[in-house]
């Protein structure tokens, strides 16, 4: 049994668009994910999140699956368009969690921008950051008497890369490096949200940033340069402004489209103190300088535009999840240590997402879902967290992605990350072996508040 420091918090994580469904219930307006999924060819089998796993209607049962595992925290996201039209839903959810003894940890923004704001430029428009602050204020007014812990933004790097630089996620802009202003405006939104949440008396504020080690595929200086640039663009661009007060290099500074006194003021806001720093981790990345004549199409699941000075290549690994992601638990220790070394002011870390997709068989005659590979994955990654703690990194918690099988963005419903199996036809829930394993681990750790 792995032992964690007293007070270590175990949790589960989800996001609104991936589970809620009830797309138009209560006057909820569309988000960019409703628009994106309605376009043919965007999602693997043309699925969408209109019903998702119908968490909106089944939240009480779902809170049971969360609470009975013994987790201290539940990280979910608030749908911006729902919160404005039908905030009662989040009242009910928060009350249900608190009654069950689980601490709600809402994320304000997990990629589902109101379509109305996209029509006005989305994250390329600076004003979107101010609109997020208004929305944060409305939500804090409504829930702030019961919610203590807040996460502002989720994986601004993935949203910028897949949604703005490439076309794999909403809003599918395909701008290449011209996507950088979307990064800055999300960071500004984070800074403004921190300010708003503090005004409303928030107890603890953090962010959920995805991080991963980036290695060069070879010793060639061109590969080293490519890796350095990719690392800056996908990792440090989203954390240096928060934890060091500036962007990692001149090229990025020039690309974000804000400068001078305005940038100085923005960086001041963005660099506001946080109470915890959320790290989402899945797999490391390897990068090379593009080789003349090499066909990169199909090397990875995403199409990288031509002309960029780097090309991600598959990481060497003996083991992969069914999503094809490399299983390298040591990379989690490595990135946690790297964050500690890079940022003297790093707040206590919470691993706000970690988990794996395996294409689990539905419940068999014994009524169980056997997912030994997910258990092995989570066990190895929790040990990797423990190794980071032993190396002196302060890590205060670990949230499994995800509580339930759900809508995995452009991959649809094939990719199952849940501790709880969801039958996509009947929407019935079945606790997987990994759910029981997690429950036993938590009770064995005797983690307390």
Q: Could you give the residue numbers annotated as active site?
A: 155, 353
Rounded distance, CA 252 to CA 162, Å? 18
- Shortest reach from residue 315's CB to ligand FCB, in Å: 16
First to last CA, the chain: 20
One DSSP character per residue, 134-158 reads HHHHHHHHHHTTT--EEEEEE-HHH
Rounded distance, CA 120 to CA 117, Å? 5
Does residue number 405 form part of the binding site for ligand FCB (CB under 6 A)? no
- Shortest reach from residue 257's CB to ligand FCB, in Å: 25
Does residue number 408 form part of the binding site for ligand FCB (CB under 6 A)? yes
- Shortest reach from residue 209's CB to ligand FCB, in Å: 10
Nearer to ligand FCB, 156 or 289 (CB): 156
Write each residue from 330 to 359 as x if it is in contact with ligand FCB (CB under 6 A), else as -, in one continuous string: -----------------------x------
* Binder among 20, 96, 149, 155 for ligand FCB (CB under 6 A): 155
Rounded distance, CA 104 to CA 315, Å? 36
* Binder among 409, 435, 437, 438 for ligand FCB (CB under 6 A): 409
Q: Which of residues 17-46 bind ligand FCB (CB under 6 A)?
A: 18
* Binder among 4, 15, 63, 369 for ligand FCB (CB under 6 A): 15
- Shortest reach from residue 264's CB to ligand FCB, in Å: 31
Write each residue from 223 to 252 as x if it is in contact with ligand FCB (CB under 6 A), else as -, in one continuous string: ------------------------------
User: Per residue in 46-80, is it b (16+ CB within 10 Å) or e — as a string?
Assistant: ebbbebbbbbbebbeebbebbbebbbbbbbbbbbb
Strand order from edge to edge, sheet including 214-216: 214-216, 285-288, 311-313
Does residue number 162 form part of the binding site for ligand FCB (CB under 6 A)? no
Q: Which residue has the tokens 């940033």?
A: 209
Q: Which of residues 47-106 bind ligand FCB (CB under 6 A)?
A: none
Does residue number 164 form part of the binding site for ligand FCB (CB under 6 A)? no
Rounded distance, CA 237 to CA 247, Å? 6
Stretch that binds ligand FCB, among 21-29, 150-158, 287-295, 335-343 (CB under 6 A): 150-158
- Shortest reach from residue 405's CB to ligand FCB, in Å: 11
Q: Which of residues 262-291 bind ligand FCB (CB under 6 A)?
A: 280
- Shortest reach from residue 156's CB to ligand FCB, in Å: 11
- Shortest reach from residue 223's CB to ligand FCB, in Å: 26
Does residue number 154 form part of the binding site for ligand FCB (CB under 6 A)? yes
Write each residue from 289 to 318 as x if it is in contact with ligand FCB (CB under 6 A), else as -, in one continuous string: ------------------------------
* Binder among 277, 417, 435, 437 for ligand FCB (CB under 6 A): 417
DSSP annotation of 177: G
Rounded distance, CA 357 to CA 353, Å? 13
Q: How far is CA 87 from the centre of its chain?
A: 23
- Shortest reach from residue 124's CB to ligand FCB, in Å: 21
Instruction: Name the token pair of 212.
Output: 């991963």
Closest CA to 121 of 113, 112, 110: 113
Nearer to ligand FCB, 12 or 447 (CB): 12
Does residue number 401 form part of the binding site for ligand FCB (CB under 6 A)? yes
Nearer to ligand FCB, 78 or 158 (CB): 158
Write each residue from 194 to 213 as x if it is in contact with ligand FCB (CB under 6 A), else as -, in one continuous string: ----------------x---
User: Is residue 385 a contact partner of residue 350, using CB atoms and an 8 Å limit?
Assistant: no
Q: Which residue has the tokens 């707040």?
A: 347
Half-sphere exposure of 302 (CA within 13 A, CB side): 20
* Binder among 156, 158, 304, 442 for ligand FCB (CB under 6 A): 158
Stretch that binds ligand FCB, among 64-72, 137-145, 362-370, 401-409 (CB under 6 A): 401-409
Nearer to ligand FCB, 112 or 396 (CB): 112
User: Is residue 64 a contact partner of residue 431, using CB atoms and an 8 Å limit?
Assistant: no
One DSSP character per residue, 328-391 reads -THHHHHHHHHHHHH-TTPPPEEEEEE-----PPPP-TTS-B--HHHHHHHHHHHHHHHHHHHT
Nearer to ligand FCB, 158 or 445 (CB): 158
Q: What angle do CA 430, 434, 438 make, to 5 degrees?
A: 115
Rounded distance, CA 385 to CA 351, Å? 8
Closest CA to 392 of 3, 5, 1: 5
Provide the binding-site residues for ligand FCB, judged by CB under 6 A.
Answer: 15, 18, 154-155, 158, 210, 280, 353, 401, 408-409, 417
């Amino acid at each position: 049994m792995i032992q964690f420091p007293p007070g270590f918090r175990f949790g589960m994580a989800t996001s609104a668009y991936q589970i809620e469904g009830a797309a138009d219930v209560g006057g909820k307006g569309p988000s960019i994910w409703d628009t994106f999924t309605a376009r043919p060819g965007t999602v693997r089998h043309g699925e969408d999140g209109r019903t998702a796993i119908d968490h909106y209607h089944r939240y009480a049962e779902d809170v049971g699956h969360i609470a009975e595992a013994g987790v201290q925290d539940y990280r979910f996201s608030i749908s911006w368009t729902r919160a404005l039209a039908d905030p009662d839903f989040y009242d009910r959810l928060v009350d249900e969690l608190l009654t069950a003894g689980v601490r709600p940890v809402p994320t304000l923004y997990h990629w589902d921008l109101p379509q109305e704001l996209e029509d006005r430029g989305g994250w390329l428009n600076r004003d979107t950051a101010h609109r997020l602050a208004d929305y944060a204020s409305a939500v804090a007014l409504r829930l702030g008497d019961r919610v203590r812990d807040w996460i502002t933004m989720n994986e601004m790097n993935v949203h910028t890369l897949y949604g703005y630089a490439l076309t794999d996620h909403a809003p599918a802009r395909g701008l290449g490096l011209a996507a950088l202003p979307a990064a800055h405006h999300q960071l500004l939104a984070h800074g403004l949200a921190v300010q708003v949440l503090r005004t409303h008396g928030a107890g603890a504020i953090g962010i959920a940033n995805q991080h991963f080690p980036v290695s060069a595929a070879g010793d060639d200086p061109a590969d080293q340069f490519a890796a350095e640039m990719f690392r800056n663009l996908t990792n440090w661009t989203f954390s240096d402004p928060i934890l060091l007060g500036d962007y990692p290099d001149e090229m990025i500074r020039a690309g974000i489209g804000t400068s001078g006194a305005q940038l100085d003021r923005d960086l001041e806001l963005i660099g506001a103190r946080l109470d915890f720093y959320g790290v989402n981790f899945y797999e490391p990345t390897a990068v090379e300088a593009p080789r003349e004549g090499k066909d990169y199409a199909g090397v990875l699941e995403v199409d990288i535009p031509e002309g960029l000075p780097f090309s991600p290549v598959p990481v060497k690994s003996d083991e992969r999840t069914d999503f094809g992601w490399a299983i390298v638990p040591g990379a989690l220790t490595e990135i946690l240590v790297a964050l500690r070394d890079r940022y003297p002011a790093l707040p206590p870390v919470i691993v706000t997402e970690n988990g794996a997709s395996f294409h689990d068989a539905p419940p068999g005659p014994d009524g169980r879902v056997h997912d030994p590979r997910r258990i092995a994955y989570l066990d190895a990654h929790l040990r990797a967290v423990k190794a980071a703690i032993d190396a002196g990194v302060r890590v205060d918690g670990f949230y499994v992605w995800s509580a339930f099988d759900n809508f995995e963005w452009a991959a649809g419903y094939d990719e199952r990350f849940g501790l709880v199996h969801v039958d996509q036809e009947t929407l019935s829930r079945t606790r997987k072996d990994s759910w029981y394993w997690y429950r036993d681990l938590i009770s064995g750790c005797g983690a307390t508040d």
